[in-house]
């Protein structure tokens, strides 16, 4: 497939997308939340959470995994963007992960026990299901406490 970028630019022009000057907005997300999610095109993070520009940092990669680069982005989000909560989103039928729920539980644990982040008191993870529901995943460590 070629011309995908041109098609997107043309779509933007046809839709008359409203230009929101960057300088008119704060760099600090209004929700105080940084979201790490899979890059799967079917996963419309902005739509799922009703996000508008300025609402949240959205960090995406294959699987929505907590990679060193995702950690670097989260650290920057907290130190310079003022976020203090982390929301992870994995999904069923993921091409990048064979066990999205299991991986998500590990990611939550990893962030909650991380010494690299200024804030890791609020880390929640959700699995987006085939039916479009969000199912909260709790790591085993947390389940034992409840």
Provide the pairing of β-strand 85-91 with 56-61.
unpaired
Nearer to Zn ion, 59 or 94 (CB): 94
Nearest to 59 by CA among 82, 80, 75: 75
- Say whether 65 counts as a known binding-site residue: no
Q: E strand or H helix at 33, and its extent?
A: strand 33-38
- Say whether 90 counts as a known binding-site residue: no
Nearer to Zn ion, 40 or 85 (CB): 40
Stretch of residues binding Zn ion (CB under 5 A), selected from 36-44, 47-55, 67-75, 121-129 = 36-44
Nearest to 53 by CA among 82, 28, 70: 28
List interacting residues with Zn ion (CB under 5 A). 38, 40, 94, 96
The binding site for Zn(2+) consists of 38, 40, 91, 94
């Amino acid at each position: 497939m070629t011309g995908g970028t041109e098609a997107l630019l043309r779509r933007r022009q046809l839709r008359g997308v409203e230009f929101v000057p960057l300088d008119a907005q704060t760099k600090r997300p209004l929700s105080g939340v940084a979201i790490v999610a899979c890059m799967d095109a079917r996963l419309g993070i902005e739509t799922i959470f009703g996000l508008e520009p300025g609402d949240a940092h959205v960090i995406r990669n294959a699987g929505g995994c907590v990679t060193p680069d995702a950690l670097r982005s989260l650290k920057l989000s907290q130190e310079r963007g003022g976020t203090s909560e982390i929301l992870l989103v994995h999904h069923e039928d993921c091409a990048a992960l064979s066990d999205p729920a299991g991986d998500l539980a590990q990611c939550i644990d990893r962030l909650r026990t991380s010494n690299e982040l200024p804030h890791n008191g609020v880390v929640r993870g959700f699995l987006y299901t085939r039916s479009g529901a969000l199912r909260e995943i709790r790591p085993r460590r947390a389940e034992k406490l409840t």
